[in-house]
């Protein structure tokens, strides 16, 4: 401390500030969102804007707008439900097929070393949107937990979402 009780530049003062102005979209939307984005987005038929990369009869795949890693996507049933036990065999089969197709496409395009694939049920389990269940597929690379995440609680996403959408959507839809 200096003579005025202020921390000097040389003293540890906890985590520094890293500006991430793009996060304001997430914060602002979380405060005012009514309804369910997983119901609204596929009904709008603006797949590129809404980051929907694949559609099926019972489910769709959508890139996470606030990803943990490049290629982080979600597979979601069209039917609004938070109850895993209510998933029909048709929904389950199509979601599994989509997860497999998305993983193969990500392997081919991004050469991931591994994946986190899972489902969080309820806010206590970490579900950001607890009232509409969805699977996450998060590509992982050796060393992707680097100094940025460890020292500054910041992730580096190296490809723009619209570029990821273009590549994955083209591969998954045969374009």
Active site residues: 134
DSSP 119-153: E--SGGGT-SSTTS--EEEEEE-TT-S-HHHHHHS
End-to-end CA distance of the chain: 62
Torsion 112-114-120-124 (CA) sign: negative
Report the C-alpha gap between 12 and 132 in whole angstroms.
42
Structure tokens at 142: 């050796």
Strands laid side by side in the 114-119 sheet:
52-55, 59-63, 73-77, 135-140, 114-119
Strand locations in 71-113, DSSP E? 73-77
């Amino acid at each position: 401390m200096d003579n005025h009780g202020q921390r000097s530049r040389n003293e540890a003062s906890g985590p520094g500030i890293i500006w991430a102005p793009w996060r304001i979209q997430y914060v602002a939307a979380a405060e005012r969102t009514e309804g369910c984005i997983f119901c609204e987005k596929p009904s709008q038929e603006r797949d590129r804007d809404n980051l929907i990369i694949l559609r099926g009869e019972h489910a769709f795949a959508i890139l996470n707008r606030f990803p943990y890693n490049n290629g982080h996507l979600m597979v979601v049933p069209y039917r609004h439900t938070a109850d895993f036990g209510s998933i029909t065999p048709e929904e389950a089969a199509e979601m599994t097929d989509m997860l497999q197709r998305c993983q193969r496409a990500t392997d081919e395009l991004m050469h991931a070393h591994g994946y986190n694939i899972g489902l969080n049920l309820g806010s206590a389990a970490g579900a950001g949107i607890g009232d509409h269940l969805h699977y996450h597929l998060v590509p992982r690379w050796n060393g992707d937990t680097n100094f940025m995440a460890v020292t500054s609680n910041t992730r580096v996403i190296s490809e723009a979402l619209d570029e990821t959408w273009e590549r994955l959507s083209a591969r998954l839809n045969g374009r």
